[in-house]
Amino acid sequence: MKNEFLHNPDLDGEPFFWEAGPVGIFLSHGYTATTVDVRPLAKNLHQQGYTVAGPLLPGHGTKPTDLNRVCWQDWTAEGEKTYQQLKQHCEKVFVGGESMGAMVALYLASEHPEAAGVLCYAPAIKLTTSTFDRIKLFLAAPFIEQIDRGPLDCPEQWQGYPRLPLKGTLQLFQMQKAVRARLPQIRQPVLIFQGRRDKTVHPEAGEIICNGVQSTLKELYWMENSAHPIPLGQELGEVTRLTLEFIQKV
């Protein structure tokens, strides 16, 4: 039965756990999305012999109002479950994600110094949302459940809610603040990708992470032809190559 609340309901947005070699990779999707966000990248990495897993975060993949009933700690807790599952099967585990999923990964890295490295794709640690727009969202959230969002990036490949749940968005803002405060606890190697055509994540996001973490190895790449959902874009091949090089280097 099709989910009428999802854009592209025919795509497979369920959680996945694909076993392969002794090195595991955790990949989380972004806010309002599903695992479709990261599946193309996950498949490429799995084909190279890595065990790859992606959770479906609470409030996602059902209906938009469900995102108004969760808090950001629910997302990191679900990420923790998948991370522990990977740890049981693998000798080393990298944590990664797209957009808000990258913040889940950064949070896990701050909690688990044994994690091998962090993979951030369009990390949503700072958005292009103005202070004025944030105030408007804060004031509207108690009265309005959801609002229309702008045009979707990669509309044919992306799956998720076409409308924006407001209380859930406030949780995303709280998560940004919490993760930013945890950056100094991160010492693992960090890989970051940002898209030049990304209108969602602020251009300073990658630098904020690089300047905040204590890591010795930090790599930041700008993908010239990519919008926000980098793993769904036309530069996936190059993103995969650079990701594999980074993992092998670590």
Q: Which residues are catalytic?
A: 99, 198, 228
Return the sign of the alpha-carbon dihedral for residues 247, 97, 124, 172. Answer: negative
CB 157 within 8 A of CB 233: no
| Cα atoms in the Cβ-side hemisphere of radius 13 Å centred on 43 | 9
Of the candidates 69, 7, 59, 66, which has an alpha carbon nearest to the alpha carbon of residue 37? 7
The C-alpha angle 76, 69, 37, rounded to 5 degrees, equals 50
Q: 126 burial class (0-12, 13-18, 19+ CB within 10 angstroms)?
A: middle
Say how far apart CA 197 and CA 235 lie, in whole Å.
12
